[in-house]
Amino acid sequence: MTRVTRFAPSPTGPLHLGHAYSAWVAAERAGAGRFLLRIEDIDRARCRPEWEAQIFDDLDFLGLDWPRPVMRQSDRLPAYRAALGQLAARGVLYPCRCTRADIRAAMSAPQEGAVGPDGLVYPGTCRARPMSDARPDDALRLNMRAALALAGPLCFIENGPLHPGQHRPDPDWMIARVGDVVLARRDMGTSYHLSVVVDDAAQGITEVTRGADLFDATAIHALLQALLELPRPTYWHHELIRDEQGKRLAKRDDARAIACYRADGASAQDIRAMLSL
Ligand code: GLU
């Protein structure tokens, strides 16, 4: 089978050394197969066309090549709506109008503090609301317990160096530490988790390569793939590039931006050497 990998940056700031590493890992894992680029721009408030242009330019500078036109998530809202329709038909979605403040207030009780890979674990305030009650400005959440019961046992294969092997996400962990994740944010009509799963399938991705910070989210993705009956790619989570203090690089860490190294006259080869590639 031809391996198909992707690099899926969000144009919310300049690419930095960590992105260069991630893109190279994806291209390398594709080998003789296909390396695709996907622009993850569902967060319209934070994404900018100039960052997207810079992404193309930086990746080109790094010596990468990918088929055009690229998939852009802002063009894919009908596909996300269709997936949400499928999940609603399976009875695992509910509308939620809790604000962050509502959630924090509901959690200021003794059992507070459950924070998982998706942030605060939702206390379930709106869980009994039917979809027929959904208003256009509601978020949509996955009823985790119902979804796990419907999907049955989950499994995904990790090929990366950090956690190699077959993983079977524990349903109790998913209920306690992930909880009822938002699949459609009120301001976007979708979410990272839903879009990534729908798009990896649409692009025929056979191996998802990305940073180790997203390893725990893979359980959510495996669940959505099962519910939506999508093919399941294998995964390769790579180590994160950190600064001298051991802190992982962030978009706002402009000093590590590839553009800055370029302005200083560094070549792609110099950047590879900095990353010990
Ligand atoms: N768009 C995400 C990011 O820039 C990557 C998501 C993924 O690779 O699954 O961090």
136 CA distance to ligand 1 middle (Å): 27
Q: Is the CB of 210 under 6 A from ligand 1?
A: yes
CATH class belonging to 77-206+219-231: alpha beta
**Largest distance between two CA atoms of the chain:** 59
Stated length of the chain: 277
Instruction: Write down the pLDDT at residue 192.
Output: 97
Per the prediction, the chain carries an average pLDDT of 94
Element (H, E) at 199: helix 192-202
Q: Does residue 14 surpass a pLDDT of 80? A: yes
DSSP readout, 41-105? ---TTT--HHHHHHHHHHHHHTT----SSPEEGGG-HHHHHHHHHHHHHTT-EEEE---HHHHHH
Question: Do the domains 1-75+242-277 and 77-206+219-231 sit in the same CATH topology, yes or no?
Answer: yes
Where along the chain do its domains lie? 1-75+242-277, 77-206+219-231
Q: Is the CB of 40 under 6 A from ligand 1?
A: yes
For ligand 1, what atom is nearest to the CA of residue 7? Answer: 8
Q: Where residue 171 falls among pLDDT bands split at 50, 70, 90?
A: very high
The residue-averaged pLDDT of 240-268 equals 85
Domain spanning 1-75+242-277: CATH superfamily: HUPs (3.40.50.620)
* 49-64 confidence digits (pLDDT tens): 999 999 999 999 999 9
Angle at 10 between CA 9 and CA 12, to 5 degrees: 135
Instruction: Write down the pLDDT at residue 75.
Output: 98
pTM of the prediction? 0.95
6 CA distance to ligand 1 middle (Å): 10
Q: Is the CB of 126 under 6 A from ligand 1?
A: no
Mutating to test ligand 1, I would choose from 214, 216, 240 the residue with most ligand atoms within 8 A of its C-beta, which is: 214
* 148-157 confidence digits (pLDDT tens): 999 999 999 9
